[in-house]
Amino acid sequence: MKTTTLLHGRIELALHELRAGSGRALLLLHGLGERSPSALPDEISAWPGPVFALDFTGHGASQLSRGGGYTAEVLMGDADSALRKLGSATLLGRGLGAYVALLLAGARPREVRGAILCDGLGLAGGGGEPGTPSLLFPNPSAQGTPDAFAMVELARDVRPPDYATAFVRQANELSGLDRPISVCCAEHPDWLDAALRETGVERARLADALAEYAAIP
């Protein structure tokens, strides 16, 4: 597995090449507390092009922040750094990575050629509205990745349904794709339910979604 280092702000990110190839890349985005797989997962072996996987800030082989500060928007910036390197890509996100894939599909609608959202850790985040104000202090004995700050901060970042749908509408209006977002999740937090009520977002089997996006020129 070849790993490239990308710089996002002051953080060095690890972008892993799981399979070399030509054509548009598939970019894997892992869930909360996870890291990129070390080998190509069987369920995506049918993807015809290269496959990459990114370790988010504070995860896997990427660097940690200092004193926390993690947000889903920062992770969208992480994924954007990989997208810049790859030129364009189809995104496949698990859990937290699925939410980040949705954000990036809306923020970079011309470069993201389809986003596939799958179950995984951190899909729900902190719900649609903030709960009672509280203080977040991580496990003081934690070391290395995943960063304990990432675990507490990204487990409760607020994900309002109409915030998610604003990104869906951008993907719809600006991507030129009929179905820019495919949902393969059993878990449906409020933000995902709201996204599924928008045009351009549909449930799909993973194999079908991969085949559909692979066919996009």
Given a contact cutoff of 8 angstroms between Cβ atoms, the answer to whether 55 and 34 are in contact is no
Taking CB under 8 A as the rule, does residue 166 contact another protein?
yes
217 binds another protein (CB under 8 A): no
State yes or no: residue 107 binds another protein (CB under 8 A).
yes
Output the DSSP codes for 81-116: HHHHHHSSEEEEEETHHHHHHHHHHHHSTTTEEEEE
β-pairing, 201-203 with 51-54?
Answer: unpaired
Residues pairing with 63 in the sheet: none
Contact characters 47-66, another protein, x per CB under 8 A: ----------x-----x-xx
Q: For another protein, which residue of 19, 49, 121, 170 counts as binding (CB under 8 A)? A: 170
Q: Does 16 bind another protein (CB under 8 A)?
A: no
CB of 63 to another protein, least distance (A): 8
Q: Is 120 in the site for another protein (CB under 8 A)?
A: no
Give the Cβ contact number of residue 85 at 10 Å: 16
Residue 74 found at the interface with another protein (CB under 8 A): yes
Cis (ω within 30 of 0) for the bond into 217? no
- Which C-beta is closer to another protein: that of 1 or that of 136? 136
